Amino acid sequence: MKDGILKAISADGRVRAVIATTTQAVEVARQKHGLSYTATAALGRAMTAGLLLARIVLRDGQVTLKFNGNGPLGRVFVDASPRGTVRGYVDNPQVELPLNSLGNFDVGTAIGKTGYLHVTVDHGFGRPSSSTVELASGEVGEDVNRYLVNSDQAGSIVVVGAHLAKSGVEAAGGLIVQLLPDHTEETICQIENNITTFGSFTFLMRRGMSLENILKRILSGFEIRTLTDEEPISFYCKCSSERFVEALKILSKSDLISMAEEDGQAEGRCHFCNEYYYVGKDRLLDLAGQRSI
């Protein structure tokens, strides 16, 4: 199944949902950063959550999630756009933990149960808006749900997951169901019962079910109308050698000359995609020659 995302609403106006598969994008992140199993599960959930949020709150721009907990992974950082692009990293990609009591990756302990989730929404114009909530558990889905409840003052259900094998990421994805003003307590119970009955999101993915069919399973009992066609998702980083050169231009003339003479080059690494960029001695001296100070 190719990575994709779509939006839907129930015919009775009680719920709306956005659902995504992110397997290939998470696998690219795993390979680029050399992630452990636990780190892959954590970053995979965060990348999926970022993509889902971006489709809910934006027409253009980007959403940034920063999980800053007291766990050994350090920060988990994700950028996502409503165009289906996402990138991310963790501070300590090699951290590995035993499975938790349920036999799942212990993402909560890896991120930390104490700390904060910082969410920045940038519409591409004006000043970005930022919100901070305390971590609910470090399990990503619960933390993003807390953010939605605090920001929208409305109920929601957030499900994100990643299934890994020795060969890599076998399935990753998730959904956010938002409860609209006409919902009832019965609405919430029905959706939660469906999730319990039909199994995890990644279980349904591994059975080869399409996004629309997974959504209809999880929202069984509701008449679902899709609002968009399934749109593609990809790991994409906007870094480039040109951007690295532009960053060097803020250095002073003396710093550029010193770097050229002492190191023979400038080296930079993008945190988001682990790509390295190099600028040689002659180019550094050329940049220095363009500076007056």
128-164 residues labelled b (16+ CB within 10 A) or e (exposed)? eeeeebebbbbbbbebbbbbbeeeeeebbbbbbbbbb
Phi, psi dihedrals of residue 282, rounded to the nearest 5°: -65, -40
Query: Would you tell me the crossing angle of helices 23-33 and 37-57 to the nearest 10 degrees?
Result: 130
CA-based nearest residue to 8, from 263, 280, 229: 229
Instruction: Name 7's bridge partners.
Output: 18
Phi, psi dihedrals of residue 43, rounded to the nearest 5°: -65, -35
**Residue numbers in the chain where pLDDT is lower than 70:** 153, 292-293
pTM score, whole prediction: 0.92
Could you report the per-residue pLDDT of 194-213, keeping only the tens digit for each? 888 877 888 888 888 899 99
- Which DSSP category does 102 fall into? T
Give residue 282's pLDDT: 92
Provide the mean pLDDT of the chain: 92
Give residue 50's pLDDT: 97
Tokens, residue 171 = 């399935």
Question: Does domain 4-235 bear CATH number 3.55.30.10?
Answer: yes
Residue spans per domain, the chain: 4-235, 241-289
Give kind and range of the element (H or E) at residue 273.
none
What CATH number should be reported for the domain whose range is 241-289?
3.90.1280.10
Give residue 197's pLDDT: 82
